[in-house]
Structure 1
Amino acid sequence: MSSGIQNTPDSESVRGEKNDVLHSEKVTTSDLMGDAFDGENREHEMGVWEAAKSHPWACLWAFVMCFTIVMESFDMFLNGNFVALGAFQRKYGVLIDAATDTYAIPTRWQSALFQAGQCGAFVGVLAAGPITDRLGYRWTTLLALVLMNATIFISFFADSLAVLTVGQALEGVPWGFFIANSPAYASEIVPLALRGACTATLQMSWSIGGIIVAAATYGYNQRNDEWAWRVPLALQWIFPTPLMILVFLAPESPWWLIRHGRKDEALRSIKRLGTGDPEKAQQTFAMVQRTVEIEAQMGGNARFLDMFKGTDLRRTIIICLMYASQNLAGNLIANQATFFFEQAGISSNRSFELSLINSCLGFVANVCSWPITAWFGRRTIYLWGTVTNILLLIILGICASIPQNSSTNYAQACLGIIISFVFAGTLGPISYTVISETSSVRLRALSTGLGRAAYYVVEIPMIYLASQMLNTTGWDLAGKCGYVWAGTACVCWVGAYFGLPELKHRTYRESDILFNRKISARKFKSTVISVTENE
């Protein structure tokens, strides 16, 4: 409930009444409240371009942290391409056509390779929350990068599918740390106007990983020896060490520092992130401290079970559904693009070419998503992006259901590319923005970790389903899988229509108030919140 107190910069009432959640000597001075009001008003008034010019370092550090996702993306796309590599198929596959000397990796091993990393990442995201809450974003990410460097050795030197699967599972653990921390850190260090664009770079990192994999496997797919897959595996080592140096130099999130009572460090961090003007830095500091104190007095220290209580339960459900929906709207076609193209009847070499084109177009779509997030609301982008992919997936299914020839094969391939493009420009990036904005500040490290765990819970069986639908030793559906993904995407659209709130232009304090008041998701955008309200 609202405290009912209208706080003003010169008001003494913020000290008096016991039912005011700001009844604390830490935050109730009129100077601090005045600075907090000014800081929040300045956030609302700042445009995207103005924010980018005044906070270039915040943008850089957000991008660096988001770029850690490239390692998970790299391996996900790499496994998808391995099963389409001729040398890999002959080494570990089974003969399915003696006349053409055609081999294929058994469905169970395809699923194992795709799922192993996700199982490891599931462990990582659950561990990331408590560790990050204790060590901070920087040191947790540094720990994960060290672990990543070590686990790559297992995959690189693997001489069987079993060992390669174990290597992928161990590599997955640091992936979980990266994906849990990146959206949270990026959303906390940039101004309000840049939250959408900076968190959307997570999807761009996925595309960059896909481009590198597509280029590497395209270059080596003509080889007939083990280096056809060992060289792409070795390329993983180009990421961790440079990222370790950059993350070590990055400032810690001021939100995390204030939550842990390290206020002097938080103020220095705010100045490093771009707010060099002492007065503006103090205003930002006061705004952050005000929100942190409100949440602390309402909920105390962050605990895992708090995510399933009160209004935080609603936030947890939204985050989990957003993450889970990334696996249900046709995106798994992109993750297995090369294999999908082959099953659609395209030659092996041309399939690798199309996969590279698909990854490059995904990167273009990610860049296009930046202005889109600035112009349109999160809810609008998600709903329209989803309905567009539903229609395209149905068309893909129809195209695969009619008598097949060269034209229908290429039509399926083109539709697969367009579906991936739409996802990379709408659903993919905006999901990360919604996830980073929805959780309370107090529970953010735990919430993003749990949400990603929900992603893996859904993805693991969906990967098996995708492999089963595409594999010639499975159901061999090719483009007919579009019907299945269109159905699951419809479920996502309905859930988002009734449950996804609009949080664009909302500070974390305003989001807290909207959730505490139990406002309908469709009324979040129209509800007016005063800068003086505390609850």
Structure 2
Amino acid sequence: MATVEQLSPEKHDIAALEAAVSRDEDLQVKAKFATKHEKESTFLEAIRLHPSAVGWSMYFSLGILMASFDPQLVGNLFAIGAFQKDFGYKFKDSYIISAPWQTGLMMGSPIGQVVGAIFAGYPMDRYGRKKTFMACMFVTTSLIFVQFFARSLSVLLAGELLGGLVLGCYVVIAPAYASEVCPVALRGMLTAFVNLTFVTGQLIANGVAAGTHRLDNHWAYSIGFSIQWLWPLFIIIGMPFAPESPWWLARKGRFDEAEKSLRRLASAKVDAKSTLAMIIETDRLERAMEAGSTYWDCFKKINRRRTEVATGVYSIQVLSGIYLVGYATYFFQLAGLDGDKAFDMGIGYLALGWIGTVSSWFLMLRVGRRRIYNIGLLIMAIIMIVIGILDCAPDYLDRPSIIWAQSSLMILWNFFFDISIGPVAYVIFCEVSATRVRSKTIAFATAVQATVGIIMTVAIPYMINPDQANMRGKLGFFFGGLSFICLIWAYYRIPETKGRTFEELDIMFELEVPTREFKSYVVDFHNSARDTKEI
């Protein structure tokens, strides 16, 4: 039998840990009961039994509103006349923000997210999800002042960079918390809810810009920055009452607190002791597999494939063209739509995306993650290619029907993004990552995605600005081509994780089950490569 020190480097409560990991039959029976109950529960049953888990998971996802609202608002500023005049220069008959400054401002958030996401892994593991979330909220509240009072591009850029550091933390906290407080039947919906809050934040930003773009003074853009103070106000109220992640508490040896957290997250009909036993057993299995708990452990052989999949599914969001969302209104203007129609189209673009995300919840109840992701990516690639082909039509600017067709296809593309790879990416990277390195895996995937986003942020203004390449809809060829390449990787590397407990996934990755066999593979707990009874 392993010693207590081997099983728990975090020596918080030695007596409790010794009792919890004793190899008695009662613990084994409870863990198996909880696993069986989770796998057999239907979606509606899980909601009835875990209403608090649903509510608190959504609460932690509210931080994502700020992570999506801010960059989306900045992207809309480039199409607001007052902002163009105050911060830009005259080009022909209008004012524009130069491509380098567009790049710099749009890059503030992803650069900050690279650093913020990597940094978030440390306080999340040391202080927990709740305290990290609270600290981030207070820092965000203070940094909004920099953006609100900025009257030069350099000060605004500083505000975006500093704000991005904290916004990157929210992107890690929300999916990690959601995956750790909900049962298998709800895991898809609640981790996909992260994408809904992303789209909601973007939609609100577009709505604010559409409502203020006619103002001829600084309030045309200052109102948008000031609205960001609303989110912390609502979120801070609930902080004292939020339960900590039971998985984090259990890994710290704080089993009594973990059990109390489980009771708060579920109804009285759920056996919290059995659920805790399952958490302990899964954690023990990962210790036996030497899954580790550091960033370096994400690249060990046992975790390398899991880190690749988590990073790949998230980065493909950028490679397929999602960063065009930030430039949607500006893109529609450059395509030939006038101001009001461009802003209206930008709102419709995200509204349909919002509907797509909600639709994905019901789709995931019946269809596997792998199939949704791959089919969605294929459709998106085809739509992008069609947009590029339409842009090659002769007398393009004199044929408004083609402009409307391209704009409509962009809206359709966003719908398929938000019904497939948008929400499903969050589900997959939460499910494939080992529980002990989940926060680190999500943080690394977020940092890589943001790094790819930096590249796109540099490239897109030069590709679409009228004083640069002026590619317009020909961007469809670029993103469509990248999407087809990504589809090849996705087909061979993304496994099916629907309906699997974290313990099952641990065993399947340990046994190196081929990607296309994940869906039908039957886990034999008694003859797995690492029998937990040996610990």
Q: 1:273 aligns with which of 260, 265, 278?
A: 265
Q: What amino acid maps onto 1:149 in structure 2?
A: T
CA distance in 1, matches of 2:509, 2:317: 24
One of 54, 57, 62 as aligned partner of 2:52: 57
- The equivalent residue for 2:12 is none
1:450 matched to 2:444? The reply is yes
Contact in 1 for aligned 2:291/2:297 (Cα 8 Å): no
Q: Aligned pair 1:150/2:142, yes or no?
A: yes
TM-score computed with the length of structure 2 as normaliser: 0.93
Percent identity among equivalent residues?
Answer: 34
Query: What are the within-5 Å matches in structure 2 for residues 32-43 of structure 1?
Result: 32-43=27-38
| Cross-structure match for 2:65 | 70
CA distance in 1, matches of 2:320, 2:199: 17
**Letter in structure 2 aligned against 1:94:** Y
Aligned to 1:344: 335
Taking the aligned partners of 1:509 and 1:274, their CA distance within structure 2 comes to 21
Q: Deviations over 1:379-431 (max 9, x none)?
A: 00000000000110011001111021111111111111111111011110000
- Within 2, Cα distance between the matches of 1:29 and 1:335? 56
Instruction: Specify which of 163, 169, 184 is matched with residue 176 of structure 2.
Output: 184
Q: 1:275 and 1:302 mapped to 2: Cα distance?
A: 31
Rounded Cα–Cα distance in structure 1 between residues aligned with 2:291 and 2:297 = 10
Letter in 2 for 1:368: S
**Mapping 1:363-442, distance limit 5 Å:** 363-403=354-394, 404=396, 405-442=399-436
Deviation at residue 252 of structure 1 after TM alignment: 0.7
Inter-partner Cα distance in structure 2 for 1:247 and 1:369 = 29
TM-superposed CA distance for 1:248, in Å, is 3.1
1:525 is aligned to 2:519: yes
Q: 1:244: Cα distance to partner?
A: 2.1
Give 1:245 shift: 2.4
Shift in Å, 1:58 = 0.4
Instruction: Pick which of 240-249 and 67-76 moved more.
Output: 240-249
* More off after superposition, 465-474 vs 440-449: 465-474
Counterpart residue number, 1:6: none
In 2, Cα distance between the equivalents of 1:69 and 1:181? Answer: 9
Q: Aligned to 1:138, which of 99, 114, 130?
A: 130
Decide whether aligned partners of structure 1 residues 300 and 260 sit closer, same or farther in structure 2, where only a CA change above 3 A counts.
farther
Amino acid corresponding to residue 178 of structure 2 in structure 1: A
The whole-number CA distance in structure 2 between the counterparts of 1:185 and 1:174 is 17
Q: Secondary structure at the match of 2:436?
A: coil
Cα distance change, pair 264–530 in 1 and its aligned pair in 2 (3 A): same
Contact 1:27–1:293 (CA under 8 A) maintained in structure 2:
no
* Aligned pairs for 1:217-256 within 5 A: 217-256=209-248
Output the CA distance in 2 between the equivalents of 1:358 and 1:162.
30
1:194-236 Cα distance to aligned partner (Å, 9 max, x none): 1111111111101111221111111111111111000011100
Structure 2 counterparts to residues 27-176 of structure 1, below 5 A: 27-97=22-92, 101-176=93-168
Give the TM-score of the pair, scaled to structure 1.
0.93
- Find the residue that maps to 1:299 and give its secondary structure: coil
Tell me, in whole angstroms, the C-alpha distance in 2 between the residues paired with 1:390 and 1:83.
27
In 1: Cα distance, 2:314 partner to 2:103 partner: 21
User: Which amino acid is 2:484 matched to?
Assistant: C
Aligned to 1:258: 250
Instruction: Tell me, in whole angstroms, the C-alpha distance in 1 between the residues paired with 2:114 and 2:315.
Output: 13
Counterpart Cα distance in 1 of 2:85 and 2:323: 25
Q: CA deviation at 1:361?
A: 1.4
Task: Say if 2:195 is the partner of 1:203.
Answer: yes
- Secondary structure in 2 aligned to 1:443? helix
SS in 1 for 2:229: helix
Letter in 1 for 2:331: F
Gaps spanning 5+ residues in structure 1: where?
1-14
Note if contact 1:142-1:248 (Cα within 8 Å) is conserved in structure 2.
Answer: no
SS in 2 for 1:326: helix
Q: Is the contact between residue 65 and residue 247 of structure 1 (CA under 8 Å) also seen in structure 2? A: no
SS at match of 2:215: coil
Q: Would the aligned equivalents of 1:330 and 1:389 in 2 still touch at CA under 8 Å?
A: no
Alignment: residue pair count: 512
* Residue 301 of structure 1, CA deviation: 5.2
**Counterpart residue identity of residue 123, structure 2:** I
C-alpha spacing 1:297/1:474, structure 2 compared with 1 (3 Å): same
Equivalent residue number for residue 496 of structure 2: 502
Is the deviation greater in 289-298 or in 169-178?
289-298
Alignment partners' CA distance in 2, 1:245 and 1:135: 20
Q: Could you tell me how far apart the structure 2 residues matched to 1:298 and 1:371 are?
A: 35
Q: Is the 8 A contact 2:87 2:97 kept in 1?
A: yes
Preserved contact between residue 291 and residue 434 of structure 2 (Cα < 8 Å): no
Deviations 1:329-385 (A, max 9, x none): 121222211011011110011101111111211111111111011111110000000
Distance 1:413 1:522 in 2: 37
Question: Which residue matches 2:11?
Answer: none
Q: Does 1:513 align with 2:507?
A: yes
CA-atom RMSD, angstroms? 1.6
Kept in 2: contact 1:92–1:105 (CA 8 A): yes
Shift of 1:532: 4.6
> Is the 1:271–1:277 contact (alpha carbons within 8 Å) kept by the matching residues of 2?
no
Which range moves more in the overlay, 241-250 or 293-302? 293-302
Residues 115 and 460 in structure 1, CA contact (< 8 A), matched pair in contact too: yes
* Pair 1:476–1:29, CA change in 2 (3 A): same
Preserved contact between residue 43 and residue 192 of structure 1 (Cα < 8 Å): yes
Q: Which runs of 5+ in 2 are unaligned?
A: 9-17, 531-535
- Residues of 1 paired with 2:516 and 2:181: CA distance? 28
| Partners of 2:291 and 2:302 within 8 A in 1 | no
2-structure distance, mates of 1:433, 1:516:
20
Question: Cα distance, 1:246 vs. partner?
Answer: 2.0
User: Residue 333 of structure 1 contacts residue 420 of structure 1 at CA under 8 Å; is this kept in 2?
Assistant: no
Superposed displacement of residue 285, structure 1: 1.0
